[in-house]
Amino acid sequence: MTDFIRLDKALSNMGAASRREVKEAVKKGKILVNGIPAKNSDMKITGEDELVINGIPLKYKKYEYYMLNKPAGVISATTDSKERTVTDLISGGRNDLFPVGRLDKDTVGLLVITNDGALAHELLSPVKHVKKTYFVRVEGRISEETDKKFSAGICIGSEQFQPAELVILKNGEESEAEITIYEGKFHQIKRMFEAVGNRVIYLKRLSMGNLRLDESLPEGNYRELSEDELQQLKYRQ
């Protein structure tokens, strides 16, 4: 089914112009729809239409998907009165975008930002068991027992965690590992390591589903997902 949307709503959703700016631009004949100046800012368009706004070509997209390499020090929320949020890092003052799940303020790495609520719901639903892999650095040695405990599913207090996969990369005064979990409980990885005597000192998300963080993307930067990456995110194992 073709999705129709008002021209002014489409452009303001995409952060290209406010509704008022669209109205002004339409009056001045500065918005072309398929080469013809738009007559009204409330005309209906689809993603198939070729738009030109003040000489700049644009296509309306209902959903947008970004990969953010989250830096430390920003919170995984859309707005906050005190703290900088991950959506503040996306330019254009967009208010329709939100992060898919949460990373702690000091956690870095892959965070998907979108306006596709249905996909976010799918990815976060506990019954879907979407896998997430993290690189972790901890204080102290990671014991052999930890692997067994994590792969059996550790119990902390009355809370049962699902089996997780651990690959130890380096063991010493500070140790490093990759850990894959299939749920997303609050401070999950920090709590799992704390339960086996290792304090997490650095945590970075490397992947979600089959989507991997583009390591060439500097921390704090973001880019649109490619079509292939979107499929990797949508279609899992």
Q: What x-and-dash track marks residues 4-43 binding ligand URA by CB under 6 A?
A: ----------------------------------------
Q: Where are the alpha helices (DSSP H) in the chain?
A: 7-13, 19-27, 117-124, 144-152, 188-195, 227-234
Select from 13, 69, 87, 107 the one that contacts ligand URA (CB under 6 A). Answer: 107
* Contacting range for ligand URA; rule: CB under 6 A; set: 30-38, 103-111, 121-129, 209-217: 103-111
157-166: which pairs have CB atoms within 8 A and are 24 or more residues apart?
159/185, 161/185, 161/188, 161/192, 162/129, 164/192, 166/142
- Closer Cβ to ligand URA, 149 or 190, answer by number: 190
Q: Which of 55, 60, 50 is nearest to 8 (CA)?
A: 60
Work out whether 189 is an interface residue with ligand URA (CB under 6 A): yes
Select from 138, 203, 211, 213 the one that contacts ligand URA (CB under 6 A). Answer: 203
Annotation marks residue 104 as catalytic: yes
Burial classification of residue 65, based on how many CB atoms lie within 10 Å of its CB (0-12 exposed, 13-18 middle, 19 or more buried): buried
- Closer Cβ to ligand URA, 142 or 189, answer by number: 189
Work out whether 190 is an interface residue with ligand URA (CB under 6 A): yes
Q: Which of 185, 226, 221, 181 is nearest to 205 (CA)?
A: 181
Select from 24, 88, 104, 178 the one that contacts ligand URA (CB under 6 A). Answer: 104
Active centre residues (catalytic)? 104
Q: Name the residues that contact ligand URA, by CB under 6 A.
A: 103-104, 107, 187-190, 203
